[in-house]
Amino acid sequence: MSDTANEPIQSFTAKSDVPVRIEPRRQGFDMATLLGLIGAVLLIAAAIWMGGNWTAFIDVPSILMVILGTFAITTVSYSWSEVVQAQPVMWRTLFVRGQAPDEAAMKVLQLAERARRRGLLAMQNEFSALRGEPYLLRAMTMLVDGMPIEEVERNLTFETHAMAQRHQRSTGILRRAAEVAPAMGLIGTLVGLVQMLGALDQPDAIGPAMAVALLTTFYGAVMANVIFLPLASKLERNSAIELLVNHIYILGALSIGHQENPRRLELVLNTILPANQRVRYFD
C-alpha cells in the first residue's frame, strides 16, 4: 500500500479542519417494534370484541398454564440466570435503534482523515468523543498502543464472532419459546378434550368445554406468532446490522493502521453499503 504515500495531502477538503464531529449515537426509540406489536394485539382484540361475548376468551387457568408452562420449559432448556440476564440485552436490542451503517461509515471516515493528517498518536485526544462506541474505541486504543495490525484484526474478529454467538443465543431463547408455546397450547387442548369427552352426557356443556379447550391453543398461537417469533426476527435483523457496523469499524481500523488514503477506504465502505446509504465524505 506504499502507493498512497506520495499523494498530495492538500487534496483533502476543508472538512478536515473542523474537529471530528462524532455525534452521539442517535439512540431513538424504535417505535416500529412497539407499534407493530400493539397493532397486531388490537386487531385480534377487535376481532374478539366484534363477536360479542369477549369474556369467553379469558380463562385464567389456561392463561397461567400456557404462560408459566412456556416459561418453565424455556428455563429448562437454558438456565434461570440466562433467561433473566437475556432480558435487558433483549429489550435494548429490540427497542433502541442502533447505529446506522452509513453514520458508522461517516464516523470512521472522519477518524481516518484525522489520523492521516495529524498522525495516529494524536487520535488519543478524540477518544472522549468515541465513548458511545466501545467497539470502535477499543479498536483505536489497540492501534494507538502500537499493537501489531494482524493482532488487532484477530482480536476484533474474535470479538465480533463472539458477539454474533451471544446474539444467536438470545434469538435461540425466543425461538425456543416460540416452539414451546404452541406445544403447551396443544397439551392444554388435549387435556380439555379428554375432560370434555368424559362428560358427553351433558350436551349443553360440550360447546363451552370445547371452547375452553381451544383457548390454550389460541393463547399458544398468539404468544408464538405475535410475540416470540417477530421479536426473534427483529433480534436477528438488528444483530445483522450490528455485525455490519462492526465490519465497517474493522475495515476502518485496519485502513487507519495501514495508513491508507481515506478515499480508498470510502470506496471500500461503499461497496458493502446498500445503494441508498452510500456515503460521500470527500466531495
The interface with its own copies within residues 241-260 (CB under 8 A) comprises none
Task: Tell me the window of 6-14, 19-27, 102-110, 152-160 that interacts with its own copies (CB under 8 A).
Answer: 152-160
Nearer to its own copies, 32 or 121 (CB): 32
- Interface residue with its own copies among 104, 140, 231, 253 (CB under 8 A) is 231
Phi, psi (5° rounding) for residue 29?
A: -75, 130
Examine residue 178 and tell whether it contacts its own copies (CB under 8 A).
Answer: no
Contacts (CB under 8 A) with its own copies, residues 108-147: none
Instruction: Give residues 158-177 in contact with its own copies (rule: CB under 8 A).
Output: 158-159, 161-162, 166, 169, 176
Query: Please, which residue, 103 or 114, has the CB nearer to its own copies?
Result: 103
CB of 101 to its own copies, least distance (A): 10
Instruction: Give phi and psi for 58, each to the nearest 5.
Output: -115, 115
With a CB cutoff of 8 Å and minimum separation 6, the contacts of 74 are 83, 173, 176, 177, 180
CB half-sphere exposure, 5, CA atoms < 13 A: 4
Instruction: Identify which range of 4-12, 18-26, 49-57, 124-132 contacts its own copies by CB under 8 A.
Output: 49-57
The least CB distance from residue 64 to its own copies, in Å, is 7
DSSP track, 97-156? ----HHHHHHHHHHHHHHHHHH-SGGGGGGGGGGTT-HHHHHHHHHHHTT--HHHHHHHH
Rule CB under 8 A: choose which of 26, 117, 150, 197 binds its own copies.
197
Residues 12-31 that bind its own copies (CB under 8 A): 30-31
DSSP class of residue 56 equals G
Looking at residue 2, the DSSP 8-state letter turns out to be G
